[in-house]
Structure 1
């Protein structure tokens, strides 16, 4: 387990539009040798072939292509889909991709942003029970958790995000942004060079966001802007004014790192390497699935010194956190329901019903699940017949 390190990136004062708050991240020394550009795929449904005859089906409007070398380079633009490739209106084309991350040349790697991270979440303990306990169904034993599905929203569906991206200022050294919706951290996006950020700024509308972010943007009231207040009693010269402004900038950056982004930066992650690209490493990460807390999945590219060149995150909803927590609990106890329930301080029938509510009821034998429901009803009737009294 490790934490995310954003050393070298500085948070500048936020910009606000309605419920959307964007915090620019700048680098005074860009990371050289790595460049990113986007490749647009259009609105066709996509299938990604994975190892062991698995497949990932999703709406994938774009991908990223990373190129690397030993000398600085500029990003080389955007590849648009061919207009001649448009399918007739009465048909639905299906786009196929080989792997989430695939090397296309000696110094070029194509990967699917956020879908790389989501696949890691969906593959969590995907093979199902490791021991054939009697509670598990034949489907769970033969197919594991297949199929698993999660719902997300495109950035264009997040209320106010398109206007915010269009109106907000891009700073000269900006290499990233932290996106908040109703002051809940929704996503972080980091690239190695300011040229990359200017080219990829609008791709935030093509990214996917969880239901929490979508609902907050739709229902939340506008958030207040943070304004700096200088103590003019100590300002006598331009140097005094400059020093006071610099102190405010330093305090804002520290406040953002420790308070606003603390849920992302203070957490520990299980980071798994996906691909090595020269002196850079592409990895994806999963959180500890802490219930009632902020949890993010994502992907990251680091250089040989461990510096973050690229980062993209996705905030999980409470139901997604719950599913990850239940699966981790089962796996850590060899999928033995009684010991897993005991570790959570609950009864086996209550734990079984929690699995059912989380969408994993099909993994249990039907007669076992029916027995859990019957025990829950009996316990509820017993509590009604014997109410607690206090006098």
Structure 2
């Protein structure tokens, strides 16, 4: 178990649009030897912007296992082994207003895929193509996927033969979250911004971090095509239409000069940063995660992580790229709904007791029939025999 190390990132003043609150994350020293850019997979895309009518895509997620989801784009990470500067592959000069030229791309076959070195001599930056956020979702869906390792009499033949296959979860595209598209379109991007915390009805929906401000400016619009949990969709639809935006107040009694006004503004800005850092720490940084490395990328590591599935508190899954000291260079998170947390909680308890219903129920302080009821209620009714 480990924690997220967000050293080098600081929070800026939040911006509010309706029920959406965006908190920028800034780096004092951007990373130059790791860069990210986006590849469009949606056939309806034009001018560098994915269309809203993308279909489902199926990719290989392991041996005899497939992962199917709406996948509008992928990320490509480029890095240099010597620590020197790296540019996002395929960069173009422009004023930021005209659409970039996009080459036609084939749909991905895997969740992660190595790319050949760029450059004529093959000595350019190395690259890795991966499907953003889907690494994390695949890790959650694969949680104890094999089912009972011991053939206890309580489990059906299907549970022993197929395990938890197929697993399915519901998520919503960002465009379905009320107010998010407008917020991303009109909010200001800070010069040093390398990430953002997305709040809907003041619930942390997602955290997104990239290595460099240029990467963030290019990837900022992609947030509206990301996947968000059922809870966030409900908060956007049924929650408050607006969230309070705390106004800045400076007491004029203590302002006698421009220098005093500047010092007071700096203090207020520091208070903003500390407040949002504390909110982020309460949900993300103070939690311990189970981390699994997916790829080694020079001095960087691409990993996905799962929470402890603690009940009655916010839990996030995600993926990250960390440097040699474990500091986050890239991060994307997904907030689980209460039911998804309960599913992970019950599966973890079953796996910890070799899927023995009696031992698991005793450890949870409930009866076997109550445990069987919870298993059925969480969508695993076909795994338990009817007489239990």
TM-score normalised per structure 1: 0.88
1:35 maps to 2:54: no
Alignment correspondent of 2:336: 316
Gaps in structure 2 of 5+ consecutive residues: 43-53, 92-99, 118-125
Matches for 1:358-373 after TM superposition, within 5 Å: 358-368=378-388
**Cα distance in 2, alignment partners of residues 213 and 55 from structure 1:** 27
Q: 2:226 aligns with which of 207, 212, 215?
A: 207
**Cα deviations across residues 130-156 of structure 1 (Å, max 9, x unaligned)?**
111110111111111000000100011
Question: Which residue, out of 135, 147, 158, partners 2:166?
Answer: 147
SS of 1:170 mapped into structure 2: coil
Contact 2:322-2:328 at 8 Å conserved across structures: yes
Could you say which residue in structure 2 is the equivalent of 1:272? 292
Q: Which residue does 1:249 correspond to in 2?
A: 269
Alignment of 1:130-279 (within 5 A): 130-221=149-240, 222-259=242-279, 261-279=281-299
What's the secondary structure of 1:117's corresponding residue?
Answer: helix
Match for residue 138 of structure 2 among 115, 119, 123: 119
The alignment status of 1:71 with 2:61, answered yes or no, reads: no
Match of 1:22 in 2: 22
Structure-to-structure mapping, 1:342-361, within 5 angstroms:
342-361=362-381
Q: Shift of residue 260 of structure 1?
A: 5.1
Mapped partners of 2:107, 2:374: distance in 1:
36
Partner Cα distance (1:173, 1:322) in 2: 39
The structural deviation recorded for 1:243 is 1.8
Q: 2:116 corresponds to which residue?
A: 105
Closer, same or farther in 2 for the Cα pair 1:103/1:156, shift >3 Å?
A: same
Shift of 1:232: 2.7
Q: TM-score, normalised by structure 2?
A: 0.89
Residue 381 of structure 1 corresponds to none
Contact 1:175–1:196 at 8 Å: present in 2 too? yes
Report the Cα distance in structure 1 between the residues aligned to 2:369 and 2:173, rounded to whole angstroms.
38
Q: Which residue of 2 aligns with 1:283?
A: 303
Partner Cα separation in structure 1 for residue 248 and residue 32 of structure 2:
34
Give per-residue Cα distances to partners, 1:258-301, cap 9 Å, x unaligned: 13551122111111110011111100000010111100000000
Output one character per residue of 1:173-212: Cα deviation in whole Å (capped at 9) or x when no partner.
0000000000000000000000000000000011000011
**Corresponding residue SS for 2:253:** helix
Q: CA deviation at 1:231?
A: 2.9
Using the alignment, how far apart are the partners of 2:62 and 2:159 within structure 1? Answer: 20
Q: In structure 2, the residue corresponding to 1:276 is in which secondary structure?
A: strand
Measure, in 1, the Cα distance between the counterparts of 2:169 and 2:109.
21
In 1: Cα distance, 2:78 partner to 2:280 partner: 33
| Distance across 2 between alignment mates of 1:308 and 1:231 | 38
Asked whether the equivalents of residues 18 and 243 of structure 2 are also in contact (C-alpha less than 8 Å), the reply is yes
| 1:224-253 deviation digits (Å, cap 9, x = unpaired) | 112222233322222222222222122211
2:332 is paired with a residue whose SS is strand
> What CA distance in whole angstroms lies between the structure 1 residues aligned with 2:366 and 2:109?
43
1:137–1:203 CA distance, 2 compared to 1 (3 A): same
How many residues are aligned here?
357
Give RMSD over aligned pairs: 1.5
SS of 2:249 mapped into structure 1? coil
Partner of residue 12, structure 2 = 12
**Cα shift readout 1:59-101 (whole Å, capped 9, x = no counterpart):** 111110000113223434477463xx9xxxxxxxxx8533211
Q: Is 1:38–1:79's contact at 8 Å kept on the other side of the alignment?
A: no
Does the aligned pair in 1 maintain the 2:78–2:87 contact within 8 Å? Answer: no
Greater helix share, 1 or 2? 1
SS of aligned partner of 1:97: coil
Residue 122 of structure 2 is matched in structure 1 by none
| Aligned match of 2:69 | 58
Question: Which whole-Å CA distance do the structure 2 matches of 1:272 and 1:227 have between them?
Answer: 42
- Please identify, of 351-360 and 301-310, the stretch whose mean Cα deviation from structure 2 is larger: 301-310
8 Å contact kept, 1:298–1:312? yes
SS of aligned partner of 1:172:
coil
